[in-house]
Amino acid sequence: MTIGLWLGEATRELREVDIPSAKLDAEIILAHTLKKPRTYLHAHHEEPLDARCEDIANARIDLRKDRVPVAYIIGHKEFYGHRFVVSTATLIPRPESEEIIALLDTISSKNERLQLTEPPRLVDIGTGSGCLGITAKLEYPAYSVTLIDTSKQALVVAQKNARILSAKVDILESNLLSAYPFSPDVVLANLPYVDESWDQSPETSHEPNMALYANKQGLDLIEKCFLQLESRMQPGTYAIFEADPRQWESIVATAASHGFSVQKKLRFAVLFVKD
């Protein structure tokens, strides 16, 4: 079996189970198995596959046919130009979450209302793999960053990513901000916000439910978080939340009831300022 023949067969098998990214997934899986870049595959279609590598790649394709996400199969996912280790204890970083990092630039580039401590304290609530808080630290080193999660297993992954990426951050097991001893200046909150009645791709069945779903039409933890932030944050400090666009009307109303107003809104993320 050559590389080209294997890719053709694997792509066909993935298409038969309605995986739209069949060709790309097959290439990623084989490149990872061979420890080569995808460009290597394109230049070596006639190269024979080692039998052991073929067996490993076939087993990985079987996992993908069962709709296991590629990131879990290969053990990592790219986010904001960095590679993050992931496991089934963490959500897979998603492109829409990069909007949260984009909104950090709004905080850092202005404004006269900014009343931050020195160094400013940033907390990433529900950190999972740590992709948001670690990226924030890499992009804005002046922040003192704490990664918070209720899952010990997720925090192990976040700690590993911080070490690999040389990001000096603190790790804290906590239910929202309950164990955090300071008043934060910036909060990043990508909390579970999916309602169980929504249509979901088969891949999400392999991700941790506690990191995806929330009660009250997906708003339960977001509402609880704003309740904590009301008494914990000072005027002129910031909170950036991710949610589904259909939830923003309710979330903005909740934020207003706890003393927060919208500073900037993107599709999946909104920057709030404490009034």
Closest CA to 184 of 225, 245, 139: 225
Q: Hey, what are 131's tokens?
A: 């992709």
Q: What is the set of domains in the chain, with CATH numbers?
A: 3-66 (1.10.8.10), 88-274 (3.40.50.150)
The DSSP symbol for 49 reads P
Query: Distance between CA atoms of 58 and 62, rounded to whole angstroms?
Result: 6
Q: Hey, what are 101's tokens?
A: 């990092």
Q: Which residues pair with 82 in a beta bridge?
A: 79
∠ CA(190), CA(194), CA(196), 5° rounding? 155
Burial class from Cβ neighbours inside 10 Å (0-12, 13-18, 19+) for residue 150 reads middle
For tokens 């088969």, name the residue.
Answer: 202
**What pLDDT score does 118 carry?**
78
Query: Distance between CA atoms of 69 and 243, rounded to whole angstroms?
Result: 22
Per-residue model confidence as pLDDT tens digits over 93-115 = 999 999 999 999 888 765 444 45
CB within 8 A of 241, min separation 6: which ones?
A: 189, 190, 191, 222, 225, 251, 269, 270, 272
pLDDT per residue as tens, the chain (275 positions):
999 999 999 999 999 999 999 999 999 999 999 999 999 999 999 999 999 999 999 999 999 999 999 999 999 999 999 999 999 999 999 999 999 999 998 887 654 444 566 789 999 999 999 999 999 999 999 999 999 999 999 999 999 999 999 999 999 999 999 999 999 999 999 999 999 999 999 999 999 999 999 999 999 999 999 999 999 999 999 999 999 999 999 999 999 999 999 999 999 999 999 99
215 and 162 in contact (C-beta within 8 Å)?
no
List C-alpha distances in Å: 23 to 34, 41, 43, 84, 94.
17, 12, 16, 23, 20
Residue spans of alpha helices (H) in 140-196: 152-164
Give the dihedral of Cα atoms 257, 263, 264, 265; nearest 10 deg: 10
Q: Which residues pair with 265 in a beta bridge?
A: 270
pTM of the model: 0.93
Amino acid at 241: F
Amino acid at 274: K
